[in-house]
Each structure stands twice: as C-alpha cells, then as structure tokens.
Chains A and B, each alone.
Chain A
Amino acid sequence: QVQLQESGPGLVKPSETLSLTCAVSGYSISSGSQWGWVRQPPGKGLEYIGSIYRSGSTYNNPSLKSRVTISVDTSKNQFSLKLTSVTAADTAVYYCARLVTVATDYFDYWGQGTLVTVSS
C-alpha cells in the first residue's frame, strides 16, 4: 500500500520560504510516476502547484512558477516543495500525491495534508 506523509512547519512568516517534505512508503520513487503538490486554501478549491519526475524534471503551475521549487531525494524516498516570498494568500492545506502519467494522468495516492498558515 502506497502511503505519503507531509511534514514541515505549520506557521511561516510573510516574505519567508515555505518548505515541506513528503515521505513516500510502500513504493520506490525511483520506480517511476511523477510526484506532485496540490494545495487548498481554507474553504476553497484545489490548486495544482507542480510535480516532478524521478529524473528531476519538473512541471509547475505558471501562476506560481517563479516561486516554486520541487526536488526529489531518491535515497530517502521523499520529495520536497519550497515556495518563496509567501503571503497570506499562500495559507492552505498542502497535499502531496502520486501522479500516474504513463499513457494516462491522474493522482491516485494522497497524503493526509498539512495546514500551513502564513502569519507574522
């Protein structure tokens, strides 16, 4: 059974960098698939942040592109998100998920989500 678990600070100050890690168990990141981040502001809808292949190739939401860095650490079987220059608008539940992309495209396994609040 594939499991994903997000971790990171629950509170980030405005203008600072949000950093989250997603630990994957039950499946080797090196085996394939993309690995993605999706966020959900309180009371609002889902927003695709970006995703990464095991090779390190990334695909990011154009509206966030310049602030987002997604990286993968196959030795630790985890991947990470960094979002710079955060504002209150970045307050959201952040989910990591596996993105199946071989002749298809969908998120099948999700983490439980972690709430990140941007506030001084």
Chain B
Amino acid sequence: QSALTQPASVSGSPGQSITISCTGTSSDVGNYKYVSWYQQHPGKAPKLMIYDVTNRPSGVSDRFSGSKSGNTASLTISGLQAEDEGDYYCCSYTTSSTRVFGGGTKLTVL
C-alpha cells in the first residue's frame, strides 16, 4: 500500500491559519470516514489530534479541525501558536482492513 500524500512542509505566522492536505485513494481516504491526524514533536510519540475526519479528542484545542472531500482529507489549525510547531501525520483505514499513514508534514511557525 502506498503512503497517503501530504505536503512536506507548511508554515504560518502566529495567529494565522494553515491547512494540511492528505490525499489517498478510493481504497482508503475516499471510502471511509476513518481518517485520523497525529501531531509529533521531536523525540516524542505521536499524539492524536483528530479522529473520524472531524472529531477532536478531549483535551485537544478547538483550534484544530478536520474535513474531507472525496479522496482528500484536511487538517486546519487556526490561531497558530508556537507550540503547534512539529510534524503532522494523517492516517486512514483501508479496504484491506489495515491502516496507512501519510508521509508527514513539517509545520513551522514563523
């Protein structure tokens, strides 16, 4: 299975909004609502930020939101803060009953 496609990097200034895309196929992103997003800081384990395309776990800021259209899911972070800097990964359930991650996007807060 091929990794989902994410931009390698995105950047934004504090207070701005950014969006990270995650493109898959009809065998994964396009076929299920089971897309999740993870934030990872250097040397740390990934942290769940969004699940089922749009849902936020308890404790995750409402500045994080998710959406999906066709084979592409998106993560939007509004009101950027310095602490948002890090790597972000999308993940989707697949028709093979497995999971596939995106290649990851490095977010830089300018």
Contact A106 B48 (CB under 8 A): yes
23 contacts between A and B (CB under 8 A): A38-B46, A45-B3, A45-B89, A45-B102, A46-B38, A46-B89, A46-B101, A47-B101, A48-B100, A50-B98, A51-B99, A60-B98, A61-B1, A61-B98, A62-B98, A95-B45, A95-B46, A104-B34, A105-B36, A105-B52, A106-B91, A110-B46, A113-B45
B36: chain A residues at CB < 8 Å are 105-107
Partner of A45, one of B48, B51, B101: B101
Interface check B64, CB cutoff 8 A: no
- Name the CB-closest residue of A to B90: A46
Interface check A111, CB cutoff 8 A: yes
Residues of B within 8 Å of A, CB-based: how many?
26
Contact A48 B46 (CB under 8 A): no
Cβ of A35 to closest chain B Cβ, rounded Å: 13
Partner of A112, one of B1, B45, B89, B102: B45
Size range of the interface on A? 20 to 34
Cβ of A93 to closest chain B Cβ, rounded Å: 9
Interface check B96, CB cutoff 8 A: yes
- Name the CB-closest residue of B to A46: B101
Interface check B12, CB cutoff 8 A: no
B interface with A by C-beta (< 8 Å): 1, 3, 32, 34, 36, 38, 40, 45-48, 51-52, 57, 89, 91, 93, 96-104
Give Cα A11 to B59, complex, Å.
37
B38: chain A residues at CB < 8 Å are 46, 107
